[in-house]
Structure 1
Amino acid sequence: MSNFGKLLNWEITRFSKFYGALFVITLLLQLLDVWLYTHDYMNNAERAMESQSMTAVQYVQNYSKASLNGYDNILFDWSISLCGVTLLLYIFLIWYKEWVGRSTFAYRLLMLPTSRMNVYLAKLSAILLFVWGLVAYQFLLIYVQIAAFEALIPSEFRQDLTVTEIIRQHPLLKILLPSYFNEFALYYGAGLVSVIILFTAVLLERSYRFKGIGAGILYSGVAAFLIILPQIISEVWFPDFFFPSELILLELVMGILVTAFSVWFSSYLLHKKVTV
């Protein structure tokens, strides 16, 4: 366990600068998004009230109040997408950077006096911690955006929303911060299974090089197909044969089986096939 802890700490430490940069970029983009919206809204409101001799009450009656969910949120969406794409790329980079250049670090890492699965589990745990850290950070940023919004828009012009309302009305936030436990388990369970499948694909490439690229792509495709196979059977061969709860249970079972096999296969590749 101590070896796992050291490996996990090392994985977190070496990504910490990039991770911190993601935090800063996300904060700046989301605050800039709020400022651009509120600045544009107040400019339009002031021009309309001046040209049409309206009061604030008349303006919001004729037009609408400002709301954090009342605009396109382009920079907000970009910031979330940037974090998602970065972590997706890091799923591959977390394995490949040990082999980059002439460094023998991959050799030293795999020759540590500990099970190679500790290396695997440390990398998997690091990815999960990075994801959950960004999700928690995004939750806190909603409060920061609310504070900035309230500071930039006078109360008579704005429609105040609770954090829950903001999350439920935004398509990306509904996925990142689901309201119900079953949704949380579904979204993040699917994410965990996807990471494990991609790890297996990477290890296939590390084991068989060019042949492994094709094998990794094929493995990922077959694994994804098996997980959605109950849905395909229900829609194509036996329409309306399964109840929704039964269909979810079947997909859950397939996901568990694929995950268990992927972890076992990854262990086999790490111990028997992966070379430096």
Structure 2
Amino acid sequence: MNRYLKLVHMEIHRFRYILAALLGLVAVVQWGALVWSARKMEAALDEVEKFGRYTFYVNELSDRKISYAEAIYNAQQLYILSVLTVIGVLCAYLLFVWYRDWLGRSTFIYRLLMLPSARSSIYLAKLTAILVCIMVSLAFQALSLVIGGAIFEVVVPSDRQAYSYFVDIVDATRVLEYLMPMRLVDFALNYGLGIVAVLVIFTGILIERSYRWIGIAYAVGYVLFCGAAIVIPINAMGMYRSDSYLYTAEIVGIEFAIILLIAAVSIWLGFRLIRRKISV
């Protein structure tokens, strides 16, 4: 356990500057977009009050107020761009966290594999580091929305502020709906799929590392097979059709079972490969 925790610390320590830069980018882009949007909407209100002319930003202004959710909605492109940037870098890190050790100048993976501990701890440490980075990014996004609310209250005069519920703030952009779903089932399904995707990619990387050139085809085939095993049953059972034979809860239960099975197989195969196929 002690070596596992040290490996987790090492992985997070190596990624800390990139993660900090990403979170800083999120803060600058989202808070800047919020100020820009609030100023635009306030200027639109001024036009309505002075000239009685409606603008693109304001359609119904009977109460002459601006809400935090509306300000985010009008700047949602920048919010989406910042979030997708973080997701893209984290996806690239899924590959980097393994190939950095193989392709680095000193082939650090050899030193890791020769540690006097179970090789599965290397797999688990890299997985834990990825999950910690994801959870830190999610927590920072929630904190960014809270701080954004304080910024909104400073930028917009109090007599022009309309109250926004947290659910309205999240619903203001499509990407935040997926990141922070309000229902526990949706949260578990979204992040359960994300964790399984990480496991599948990890196992695909180990397949490629174990079998080299032919391993590329094996790895791609494994990833595609796992993806099809999740997507095809949803369509086959008609989850999004009103005439489906099964109830939505039953379909979700079956999907959870499939996801758990794929996760278990990916972990078992990943452990087996790193113990028996990959050598120094």
Provide Cα deviations, 1:51-87, integer angstroms capped at 9, x if missing partner. Answer: 459xxxxx97459632333214222111111111111
2-structure distance, mates of 1:197, 1:178: 24
How many residues end up aligned between the 2 structures?
269
Contact 2:80–2:173 (CA under 8 A) maintained in structure 1:
no
Cα-to-partner distance string for 1:218-237 (whole Å, 9 max, x where unaligned)? 1011111122343243249x
Aligned to 1:227: 230
Identity across aligned pairs (percent)? Answer: 30
The answer to whether the Cα contact below 8 Å between 2:7 and 2:122 also exists between their aligned partners in 1 is: yes
Q: Distance in 1 between matches of 2:267 and 2:207?
A: 13
2: CA distance between counterparts of 1:135 and 1:95? 23
Q: Does 1:266 align with 2:260?
A: no
- 1:259 is paired with a residue whose SS is helix
User: Partners of 1:116 and 1:222 in 2: how far apart?
Assistant: 26
Unaligned runs of 5+ in 1: 54-58
- How high is the TM-score relative to the length of structure 1? 0.90
Is 1:255 the counterpart of 2:255? The answer is no
Q: Partners of 1:161 and 1:266 in 2: how far apart? A: 46
Structure 1 contact 33–74 (Cα < 8 Å) conserved: no
Read off the aligned partner of 1:97 and give its amino acid letter.
Answer: R
**Alpha-carbon distance in 2 for matches of 1:192, 1:127:** 9
- CA RMSD, Structure 1 to Structure 2 (Å): 2.2
Give the Cα separation in 2 of the matches to 1:231 and 1:44. Answer: 45
Is 1:206–1:275's contact at 8 Å kept on the other side of the alignment?
no
Q: Does 1:26 align with 2:29?
A: no
Contact 1:177 / 1:184 at 8 angstroms: preserved in 2? yes
Matched AA of 2:162: Q
Q: What is the TM-score normalised by the length of structure 2? A: 0.88
In 2, Cα distance between the equivalents of 1:246 and 1:51? Answer: 57
Q: Distance in 2 between matches of 1:269 and 1:64?
A: 64
Q: Tell me, yes or no, if the aligned pair for 1:4 and 1:118 is still in contact at 8 Å.
A: yes
**Structural mapping, 1:1-276, within 5 Å:** 1-51=1-51, 61=61, 65-70=65-70, 71-235=74-238, 240-276=244-280
Paired residue secondary structure (1:97): helix
SS in 2 for 1:69: helix
Q: 3-state SS of the aligned residue for 1:112?
A: coil
Q: Decide whether aligned partners of structure 1 residues 43 and 242 sit closer, same or farther in structure 2, where only a CA change above 3 A counts.
A: closer
Rounded Cα–Cα distance in structure 1 between residues aligned with 2:83 and 2:166: 17
Aligned to 1:56: none
Q: Distance in 2 between matches of 1:65 and 1:206?
A: 59
**Kindly tell me: are residues 214 and 184 of structure 1, through their superposed partners in 2, closer, same or farther at Cα, counting changes over 3 Å?**
same
